Structure 1
Amino acid sequence: MGFDLATARKVLDSQPFSRLLGARITAFGDGAAVLELDIRDELLQQNGFLHGGVLAYAADNALTFAGGSALGPAVLTGGFSIQYVRPATGTTLIARATVVHGGRRQAVCRCDLFAVDGEGAETLCAVAQGTVLTAP
């Protein structure tokens, strides 16, 4: 079985935490991945914004799936950094990740995270960069 969108969705569904958050992969392949989740009350912090930990989760998983689309399914996050640009509010979080540079055993990836409002307008809320490694 190749590592395609259907397989990526099965991998995501095998992660209990991803199921808890209701995350879904909407695009996958060619060094890119898109992860989405609905913004709901249980995921907010005290000021009504999406919790930074949820943004970090989305960046981590999107980066790793993008890297996996280039390196194969047996990958792990080597590390990442995230910069919060503005508070995330709206109905949906979209994390779009791409491979910036790929090798045989690692890929450097970037992820832009957008909050989507009820009309479908996207607002950049965070930017992340990380390294994805093939699993030992």
Structure 2
Amino acid sequence: MTTPSVPSQLDLATARQTLDAQPFSALLGTRIRSFGDGKATLDLDIRKELQQQNGFVHGGVLSYAADNALTFAAGSALGGAVLTSGFSIQYVRPAVGRTLLARAEVVHAGRRQAVVRCDLLTVAEDGAETLCAVAQGTVLSTRTV
């Protein structure tokens, strides 16, 4: 992983404030577990309202989690002012469990953009983690050069 120098004011507390300022994230109950050095981990409790008709976590929820984790990871490498340019997601297996984790890591960062990978996992009652989707995206800095 290569990352440029990042302003020191970006830390876990700042990332939590940013996440808390997102009304949709608050609606879903998303939390940020870790943030920094080109990485971010978000989680949310799996509840009935987030499932589709077969009892699996809805693909839209998985996509939301991937998008947000990708952006937070990139923000820790590029600075706080970032937006997702685009991403793709591959669903590996149905998502079932107690918690959804989105673990993202910058693969490469330049001055204005980062390529980021995100693994989406479910956590069972016994703590076992199961990969359910993989995403990759490009995140752009919105800072002016």
Q: So what's the TM-score if we normalise by structure 1?
A: 0.99
SS at match of 1:126: strand
Opposite residue 91 of structure 2, the aligned amino acid is: Y
Aligned counterpart, 1:78: 85
Give the counterpart of 1:56 among 57, 60, 63. Answer: 63
Gap regions ≥5 residues in structure 2: 1-7
Shift, 1:135, TM fit: 1.3
Distance 2:142 2:91 in 1: 29
RMSD: 0.8
Aligned counterpart, 1:135: 142
Distance 2:111 2:13 in 1: 24
Aligned counterpart, 1:3: 10
Distance 1:73 1:104 in 2: 13
SS at match of 1:73: coil
Aligned counterpart, 1:95: 102
Q: Percent identity?
A: 75
Distance 2:67 2:89 in 1: 9
Distance 1:25 1:75 in 2: 17
Distance 2:142 2:71 in 1: 11
1:111 to 2:121 alignment: no
Distance 1:107 1:13 in 2: 23
Moved runs in structure 1, 4+ residues, more than 4 A?
A: none
Q: How many residues align structurally? A: 136
Opposite residue 138 of structure 2, the aligned amino acid is: T
